[in-house]
């Protein structure tokens, strides 16, 4: 949710027009995350930061910028920092004033873009109001820059990075922030906690080192930084409390004492190499990298995810919680206030090379990203299996969890935890996991799992499934289980994501970038990944070899069968024309197809804003049957598996109440086809994979109904691709 993009060019000449075009393009790459307003901040002249914000689409922001006649678009900068943001309203309604960047005062001395929610902003705001600060917006974000201004006025000699370090220690909740200031031209500081943020590095020469060291400021002392504020407004000072242990209810800065941070003397030997090319000089601190070629030319980009950066560079650093990234004089440094005493902190941050290509985040010849991603599924499922399944000798290797398989086999139970579509992929694979692992399998919605304070034990294995790897509830559930010493397995589609980094082991589903808010190809790849895990767990059980062989051969045929199902597109379009004016749609399935109807109903709700409900056919008589009449459209999934007779009974019951159902059935199932003229025929495959084939017509159906209802397919209202707040 929300999107941050920032760009710093150092000795790389750029006109103001080029900078603004780059910022707008970055925001457009982040539109899929969901937003209701957008804004940019850039230098208007040497002593002024210009902020342009507006409610609505990025295109509206772009039009506003280009229609301004007071901006010299041809002015060139050798060094410049520009920040941009797409906002998803949490505190304060969507409006120009509540949009980001937020400012410290009318002179725009400090400006910030922020993703996340600050849970203690009211306390900080109360403190600042006592200091005669006035607030112009309803956002929680505004307290960040006003607190920064207050600290700067109190201690004008503090560096920009030090100011941000102090302010970040007062914030509670989830945040990723990027800041610029007229007092520190050419500098940019960013930090995060619980919300994703990465730094892209673009230089003229290749990077020879793949790490950057961290500066631990262990000797920062702070005698009277924090005061706790009661509901009545009384302040009680906390004396000599270490910064890393402070609460952040309020800030009193009258007696702050800051010593120069001492650099940690224990450095990684890996850092003896230069970062860029063969001629990179170190600063005297031995923790900064300075590009020397071409007069220190460097470009840095900050973004919420890689899709905004990949067209500029594929070299990125994923910041971790409480990292403070600072760029000063073209040098990038990463700081932390204090190292954990348990020694678990890394001494470096890895510079990763993204494998994503710009073509993967372009629509190509498709009208929307969702349509493109539906039709990419034959390739995406191949990518999920590539290098992992040997179809000749029927063996499977999941490199990310290979070393942990013996431990997983000894566990007490498996817990699978996710939200939304990821939760449906868990439901889809629960039965095959129970069958092949012979272990108890619990499935959990992450938010409910946390609400219940579910008991977790050391010998539990917990799977966390998330396309983005940043889903807030899932990530909090992961940390909850990790604190209780369970083994953590991440199933994600995003390398470098928080879940990916914080898991003990995991499986990358390799579905490729998914831009459409409504998940399609990630769902099918998640199902396949979990099925492959079940196959790995049963590889040494002779009694299960026939079953394993059947599933592996089913996986081999799956890409061609998906292509066959996609040929139903025109037929699904004709059905959509009959349904798009309906107010409700019921989907019914059982067994392996229960998850299919849940996922289909979710897609219809997400995209079409039509009421839709996925019903377990076995529960029909316990309430849902009361909804059935001749005006209620019903879509039923019936495949020939162990519950086929029961599904046929449910079909007879809805038809007896006057319903004229739409059927999804197997091609050679002539018996089922007799019951309706509206039948979508799909190939037969092994039961645990049948849901992959039966969900695709529902993806197509939701897409076509949304188009006919003139809905925004890629960005449904009120929804975001990456749900990074609770």
According to the model, what pLDDT value does residue 122 have?
93
Select from 589, 528, 562 the least CA-distant residue to 699. Answer: 562
In the predicted structure, residue 242 carries a pLDDT above the cut 60: no
Helix (H) or strand (E) holding 450: helix 446-451
Cβ-proximal residues to 579 (8 Å cutoff; 6+ apart), any chain: 585, 633, 701, 705
Q: Is 2 left (phi over 0), alpha (psi -120 to 50) or beta?
A: left
Q: Which CATH superfamily is domain 3-353 in?
A: Aminohydrolase, N-terminal nucleophile (Ntn) domain (3.60.20.10)
**Mean of the pLDDT values across residues 43-50?**
86
Are 558 and 381 in contact by the 8 Å Cβ rule? The answer is: yes
On whether the CB atoms of residues 304 and 176 are closer than 8 A, the answer is yes
Identify which of 33, 7, 10, 11 has the alpha carbon closest to the alpha carbon of residue 21. 7
Tell me the three-class secondary structure of 638-690, residue by residue. CCCCCCHHHHHHHHHHHHHCCCCCEEEEECCCHHHHCCCCCEEEECCCCHHHH
Catalytic residue check, 2: yes
The reply to whether domains 3-353 and 569-726 share a CATH topology is no
- Three-state DSSP at 621 gives helix
Report pLDDT for 488: 98
Position 245 pLDDT exceeds 90: no
pLDDT of the residue at 600: 97
Tokens of 531: 């099925």
Range of lowest pLDDT (75-79, 232-236, 389-393): 232-236
Beta bridge partners of 49: 43
Domain 363-566 has CATH 3.40.50.10490: yes
699 φ, ψ (degrees, to nearest 5): -60, -45
Q: Which pLDDT does position 724 carry in this prediction?
A: 65
* pLDDT for residue 54: 95
Per-residue pLDDT for 136 more than 60? yes
DSSP class of residue 138 equals S
Per-residue pLDDT, 632: 92
Give the model's pLDDT for residue 260. Answer: 40
Q: What is the pLDDT of residue 264?
A: 36
The mean of the pLDDT values for the chain is 87
User: Who has greater pLDDT, 448 or 721?
Assistant: 448
> At residue 66, does pLDDT exceed 70?
yes
CATH number (3.30.70.270, 2.60.40.1480, 3.40.50.10490, 3.40.190.10) of 569-726 reads: 3.40.50.10490
User: At 515, is the secondary structure helix, strand, or coil?
Assistant: coil
pLDDT digits (tens, 9 = 90+) for 623-643: 999 999 989 999 999 999 999
The ranges assigned to domains in the chain are 3-353, 363-566, 569-726
- At 537-588, the pLDDT tens digits run 999 999 999 999 999 999 999 999 999 999 999 999 999 999 999 999 999 9
Amino acid 208: pLDDT? 64
pLDDT tens digits, one per residue of 392-405: 999 999 999 999 99
| DSSP conformation class of 185 | T
Helix residue ranges, H only, 285-389: 293-296, 369-375, 377-385
pLDDT, one tens digit per residue, over 76-104 is 999 999 999 999 888 888 899 999 999 99
- pLDDT-derived band of residue 660, with 50, 70 and 90 as boundaries? confident
The model's confidence at residue 258, banded by pLDDT at 50, 70 and 90, is very low
Q: What is the CB neighbour count within 10 angstroms for residue 386?
A: 10
CA dihedral 399, 400, 406, 412 (to 10 degrees): -150
Give the helix/strand (H/E) hosting 14: strand 3-15
């Amino acid at each position: 949710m929300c999107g941050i993009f920032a760009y710093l060019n150092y000795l790389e000449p750029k006109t103001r027009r080029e900078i603004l075009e780059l910022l707008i393009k970055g925001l457009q790459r982040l539109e899929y995350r969901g937003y209701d307003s957008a804004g940019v901040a850039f230098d208007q002249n040497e002593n002024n930061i210009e902020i342009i914000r507006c409610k609505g689409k990025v295109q509206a922001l772009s039009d506003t910028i280009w229609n301004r006649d007071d901006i010299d678009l041809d002015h060139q900068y050798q060094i410049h920092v520009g920040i941009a943001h797409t906002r998803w309203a949490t505190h304060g309604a969507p409006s120009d004033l509540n949009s980001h960047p937020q400012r410290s005062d009318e002179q725009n001395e400090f400006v910030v873009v922020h993703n996340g929610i600050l849970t203690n902003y009211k306390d900080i705001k109360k403190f600042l109001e006592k200091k005669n600060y006035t607030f112009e917006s309803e956002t929680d974000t505004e307290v960040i820059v006003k607190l920064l201004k207050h600290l700067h006025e109190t201690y004008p000699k503090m560096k920009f990075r030090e100011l941000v370090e102090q302010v970040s220690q007062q914030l509670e909740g989830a945040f990723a922030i990027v800041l610029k200031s007229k007092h520190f031209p050419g500098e940019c500081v960013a930090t995060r906690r619980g919300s994703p943020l990465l730094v892209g590095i673009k230089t003229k020469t290749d990077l020879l080192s793949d790490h950057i060291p961290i500066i631990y400021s262990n000797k920062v002392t702070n005698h009277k930084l924090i005061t706790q504020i009661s509901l009545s407004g009384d302040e009680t000072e906390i004396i000599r409390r270490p910064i890393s242990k402070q609460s952040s209810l309020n800030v009193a800065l009258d007696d702050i004492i800051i010593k120069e941070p001492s650099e940690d003397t224990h450095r990684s030997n890996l850092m003896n190499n230069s970062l860029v090319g063969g001629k990179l000089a170190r600063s005297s601190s031995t923790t900064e990298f300075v590009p020397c070629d071409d007069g220190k030319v460097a470009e840095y980009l900050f973004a919420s995810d890689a899709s905004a950066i990949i067209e500029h560079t594929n070299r990125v650093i994923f910041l971790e919680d409480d990292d403070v990234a600072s760029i000063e004089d073209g040098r990038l440094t990463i700081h932390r206030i204090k190292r954990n005493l348990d020694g678990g902190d890394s001494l470096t941050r890895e510079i990763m090379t993204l494998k994503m290509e710009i073509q993967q985040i372009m629509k190509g010849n498709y009208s929307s990203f969702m349509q493109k991603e539906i039709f990419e599924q034959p390739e995406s499922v191949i990518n999920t299996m590539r290098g992992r399944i040997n179809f000749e000798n029927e063996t499977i290797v999941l490199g990310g969890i290979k070393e942990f398989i013996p431990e997983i086999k000894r566990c007490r139970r498996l817990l699978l935890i996710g939200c939304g579509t990821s939760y449906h992929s868990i439901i889809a694979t629960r039965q095959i996991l129970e069958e092949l692992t012979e272990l108890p399998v619990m499935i959990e919605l992450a938010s409910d799992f946390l609400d219940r304070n579910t008991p977790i034990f050391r010998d539990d294995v917990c799977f966390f499934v998330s396309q983005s790897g940043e889903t807030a509830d899932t990530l909090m559930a992961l940390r909850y289980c990790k604190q209780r010493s369970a083994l953590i397995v991440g199933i994600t589609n995003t390398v470098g994501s928080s879940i990916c980094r914080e898991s003990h082991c995991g499986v990358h589903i390799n579905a490729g970038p998914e831009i459409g808010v409504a998940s399609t190809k990630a769902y099918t790849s998640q199902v396949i990944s979990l099925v492959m895990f079940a196959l790995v767990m049963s590889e040494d059980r002779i009694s299960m070899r026939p079953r394993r062989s059947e599933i592996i051969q089913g996986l081999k045929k799956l890409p061609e069968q998906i292509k066959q199902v996609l040929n139903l597109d025109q037929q699904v379009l004709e059905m959509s024309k009959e349904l798009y004016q309906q107010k409700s749609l019921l989907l019914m399935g059982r067994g392996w197809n229960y998850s299919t109807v849940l996922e289909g109903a979710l897609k219809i709700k997400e995209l079409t804003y039509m009421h839709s409900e996925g019903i377990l056919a076995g529960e029909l008589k316990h309430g849902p049957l009361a909804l059935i009449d001749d005006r209620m459209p019903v879509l039923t999934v019936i495949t020939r598996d162990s519950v086929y007779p029961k599904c046929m009974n449910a079909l007879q019951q809805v038809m007896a109440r006057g319903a004229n159902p739409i059927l999804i059935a197997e091609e050679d199932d002539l018996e089922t086809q007799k019951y309706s003229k509206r039948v979508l025929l799909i190939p037969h495959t092994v039961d645990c994979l049948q849901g992959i084939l039966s969900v695709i017509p529902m993806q197509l159906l939701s897409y076509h109904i949304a188009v006919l209802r003139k809905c925004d397919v890629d960005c449904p209202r009120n929804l975001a691709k990456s749900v990074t707040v609770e």
